Amino acid sequence: MFATVAFASIFDKAGFGAGGLAFIVAIIYILNGIVILLSSLFFLKRDIT
């Protein structure tokens, strides 16, 4: 996570704006992982009952 923040700050200083994009992509990946985890837990619970 710290590497992503450092990467973002470096690119923002360079003026590319790619750092902010990478940060947004990282957040999307984290949210996607949480959704997949919750849905898999829900399906497992539904199969057990």
**Single-letter amino acid, residue 26:** A
**Where does residue 4 rank: exposed (0-12), middle (13-18), buried (19+ CB within 10 A)?**
middle
Question: Residue 1 pLDDT > 60, yes or no?
Answer: no
| φ, ψ of residue 19 in degrees (nearest 5) | -65, -45
CB 19 within 8 Å of CB 12: yes
User: Which pLDDT belongs to residue 36?
Assistant: 92
Structural domains counted in the chain = 1
Question: Residue 43 pLDDT > 90, yes or no?
Answer: no
User: Which pLDDT belongs to residue 33?
Assistant: 92
User: Which pLDDT belongs to residue 14?
Assistant: 58
- pLDDT one-digit tens code per residue, 6-40: 666 665 565 556 667 778 888 999 999 999 999 98
| Residues spanned by the domain of 38 | 2-48
**Single-letter amino acid, residue 32:** N
Q: For the whole model, what pTM was predicted?
A: 0.47
